[in-house]
Amino acid sequence: VDEHLFRALAQYWNPAYNCFTFGKVDLVPTVEEYTTLLCCPKVQADKAYSRAANIPTFLKKLISIMGMSEQWVKARIKQKGDYKCIPWRNLRDLILAHLDMKKRVDIFALSIYGLVAFPKALGYIDEAVSDLFNWLDKGVAPVPGAVGYAALLVLRQYRSRQFIPAMQGLAQYEFSYKGDNYKKK
């Protein structure tokens, strides 16, 4: 571990927000990002924040999600500007016709994420959605870093000085409700 790196990081630590601040930019790194910054071995493979050298292509991800042949998927991938996508109508037809129920659900979820969460081009599912599925398949959720950053983002936008804590330790607490009328209290 590099001692000079620790000293440089400590210089920018903001104890009020429990994160690093560089001027007006807040950084809330996750534990995984710390391990990457500090070059800790054997922790960086298959994580959302670090990309491995053997990342499956958009084509391979779609083949895996849909369970269709390479020729079928390749024929339907379109180029929209600088990104690749697949038309929603092709996925809709596949949802209705696919024999494997699990694949139908996966394709439906891919479609919903693509049309609602990542809408770049109307009627097309973007490559970013397949990245999300790839992360979820490996058990990596990119949400904790965003959740930690969101409160600080709101503070900056509204020039607020009140700190809104993240609920990181909530899972450690046990809530017990006794009796049938616990909601009435």
pTM as predicted: 0.48
- Using H for helix, E for strand and C for coil, what is the string for 52-107? CCCCCCHHHHHHHHHCCCHHHHHHHCEEECCEEEEEHHHHHHHHHHCCCHHHHHHH
Mean pLDDT for 13-33 is 63
Quick count: other Cβ atoms within 10 Å of Cβ 47?
18
Q: What pLDDT is recorded for position 123?
A: 84
The residue range of the domain holding 149 is 3-49+142-184
Q: Using one digit for the tens of pLDDT, what is the confidence trace for 35-53?
A: 666 665 554 455 555 555 5
Mean pLDDT for 30-39 is 60
Q: What pLDDT is recorded for position 72?
A: 92
Whether residues 169 and 123 fall in one domain: no
Last residue of a domain, one of 99, 120, 137: 137
Share above pLDDT 70 across residues of the chain, in percent, rounded to a whole number: 48
Residue 144's pLDDT band, with cuts at 50, 70 and 90, is very low
Asked if residues 86 and 126 have their Cβ atoms less than 8 Å apart, the reply is: no
Whether residues 36 and 74 fall in one domain: no
The count of structural domains within the chain is: 2
Q: What pLDDT is recorded for position 90?
A: 92
Whether residues 121 and 80 fall in one domain: yes
Q: What pLDDT is recorded for position 94?
A: 92
Q: Does residue 176 carry a pLDDT above 50? A: no
Higher pLDDT, 116 or 70: 70
Q: Does residue 175 carry a pLDDT above 70? A: no
Q: What pLDDT is recorded for position 158?
A: 58
Whether residues 148 and 127 fall in one domain: no
Asked if residues 120 and 129 have their Cβ atoms less than 8 Å apart, the reply is: no
